[in-house]
Amino acid sequence: MTGSEEIDSEQTGSVLHVEPGASWWPVLWGPGFAVLGFAVEMVTRGPVHGIQWLLLAGALAVTAAAWVYGRRRWYSVRLTPASLTVGGESVPIARIAAVLEEEVPVGTRVLGGGWTTPKGTTAVPLRLHGDHQDGGSAVLAWARHPEQLTRALHRLVP
């Protein structure tokens, strides 16, 4: 899946909203530039460094693959009927008390482990059911398409 997609839960049975964090196509950038460099060497005078271009293509592809993997793991959002996963943190839907419309105080905990919401995302404030010590805490989920995530959450949380 590419980009942010709202998926009919009857169609898939499980995923209500997903933002994958990154697509895999950037892995092709490095090999593409290496092919371009090799082609330039082929049409110009001078030595052709085929092995070096091949090694460069591999090194750039591996580096980009690590970057994409990290983005997909720590910058993705996934909502199912059972849980909301934001970055590296998952919250059971049963623990979400409400989707808040009002602003939350500065310093509210951000889901996914960061100090702030990631660049290019917008906060989606949530109230969690509390335990016996607190009456429930506010947290910030985040998404690149917060309206879609909020709509999907409203279908699960009253």
Q: Are 19 and 144 in contact (CB under 8 A)?
A: yes
- pLDDT, one tens digit per residue, over 114-136 is 889 999 999 999 999 876 445 57
Intervals of the chain under pLDDT 70: 1-13, 131-135
| Nearest C-alpha neighbor of 9 from the set 77, 99, 78 | 78
Q: In whole angstroms, how large is the CA radius of gyration of the chain?
A: 21
What is the pTM assigned to this prediction?
A: 0.75
Separation of alpha carbons 34 and 58, rounded Å? 9
What's the confidence (pLDDT) of residue 105? 87
DSSP 16-57: SEEE-S--SGGGGHHHHHHHHHHHHHHHSSS---HHHHHHHH
